[in-house]
Amino acid sequence: MAHHRLIILGTGPAGLTAAIYAARANLEPLVVEGTEPGGQLTTTTEVENFPGFPDGILGPELMDNMRKQAERFGARFMQGWVTEVDLSQRPFRVTIGGGDVHEADALIIATGASAKKLGIPGEAELTGRGVSTCATCDGFFFRGKRVIVVGGGDSAMEEATFLTKFATEVTIVHRRNELRASKVMQERARNNPKISWVMNVTPVSVIGEGNKVKALEVRDNATGEVRQLETDGVFVAIGHTPNTGFLQGQLELNELGYIQTRGVSTATSVEGVFACGDVMDPHYRQAITAAGSGCKAAMDAERFLEGSSSHDWSVSAGSARA
């Protein structure tokens, strides 16, 4: 059984930033990649809002650069899916794949959250080519175009309202006649002249033309009629699922299922276990905020491993340093 001072689960912006900082601190972290190395950014095309890249950078290229940077400082990578963890005592045990067990004195969880998908034909094939799950990330690319937002909750209302900054027309498509969104969010969307509504329909497929979206095919739930809604983009806003199933109730989660952290730190309900990125952040879900929390997690883990377990996490995460 291999023993490590620190294991990091996940290789999105949070996990890789944690790996860079931990490796620079000579913790020699083992980074478990999972089945989607690089996280959700590997499914996007150009990233224009990550600081330091005035001309933008491709999502996969950004993640590859971050991985190489972590490797440069001594981080070790292992591909595999974490099937089980034992957080009942230290060292913690992490089971990968078919039974490969590793021990760790500290653990950083950066497994992210997966956007819920519609599961219809054309959705996967056109993701990154007109189908998106992040308006903040991709809205700029739809300046002067028509887009559809699928969903009826607060996230859908927020995405639709944000997209009106760029698109000429935003259509909200929902499978029911009533929305799940709060009244405030509904009113904000309904009062926006750029937003129109197609209710009580079920998305059937995303229609493409070449490498771009042409229309969303929907079925009327009352009549069964199938029709196409012409559009340049489809934003799926039906929620996210935090990737915490492998924890099996060993950590405190919030009401949405995200890992609960303490105060301004990344410390969790189990001493020596830290969480960063989308797995603990249901609100921002941005590469740069995930990276920032990854930095915090590595610094928190380093301080813990140095014996500062009595630190008051509710007050401060420690002094900043480069």
79 & 8 share domain = yes
- 313 domain residue, yes or no: no
- What per-residue confidence (pLDDT) applies to 43? 62
74 & 149 share domain = no
134 & 110 share domain = no
Q: In the listed set 236, 251, 276, which residue is the last one of a domain according to the structure?
A: 236
Unique residue bearing structure tokens 């009533």:
178
The two structure tokens encoding residue 17: 């930033």
98 & 158 share domain = no
- What per-residue confidence (pLDDT) applies to 234? 98
133 & 109 share domain = no
231 & 189 share domain = yes
Q: Can you list the residues of the chain whose pLDDT is less than 70?
A: 35-38, 40, 42-45, 308-322
- 21 domain residue, yes or no: yes
- Domain of 155, CATH number, reads 3.50.50.60
161 & 180 share domain = yes
Cα(127)–Cα(129) distance, integer angstroms: 5
Catalytic one among 138, 154, 232, 300?
138
**Chain-centre distance for alpha carbon 253:** 17
Catalytic one among 105, 137, 295, 300?
137
- 56 domain residue, yes or no: yes
Residue ranges making up the domain that contains 279:
2-114+240-305
100 is catalytic: no
**Structural domain count of the chain:** 2
User: Bridge partners of 197?
Assistant: 172
138 is catalytic: yes
- 33 domain residue, yes or no: yes
Q: In the listed set 236, 262, 278, which residue is the last one of a domain according to the structure?
A: 236
214 & 252 share domain = no
- 322 domain residue, yes or no: no
Cα(81)–Cα(165) distance, integer angstroms: 40
- What per-residue confidence (pLDDT) applies to 322? 45
User: Bridge partners of 172?
Assistant: 149, 197
- 318 domain residue, yes or no: no
- What per-residue confidence (pLDDT) applies to 221? 97
- What per-residue confidence (pLDDT) applies to 308? 57
135 & 228 share domain = yes
33 & 140 share domain = no
Residues with Cβ within 8 Å of residue 99, at least 6 apart in sequence: none
133 & 122 share domain = yes
- 320 domain residue, yes or no: no
- DSSP for 160-177 reads HHHHTTT-SEEEEE-SSS
Q: In the listed set 194, 214, 236, which residue is the last one of a domain according to the structure?
A: 236
- 281 domain residue, yes or no: yes
134 is catalytic: yes
Catalytic one among 64, 86, 105, 134?
134
96 & 6 share domain = yes
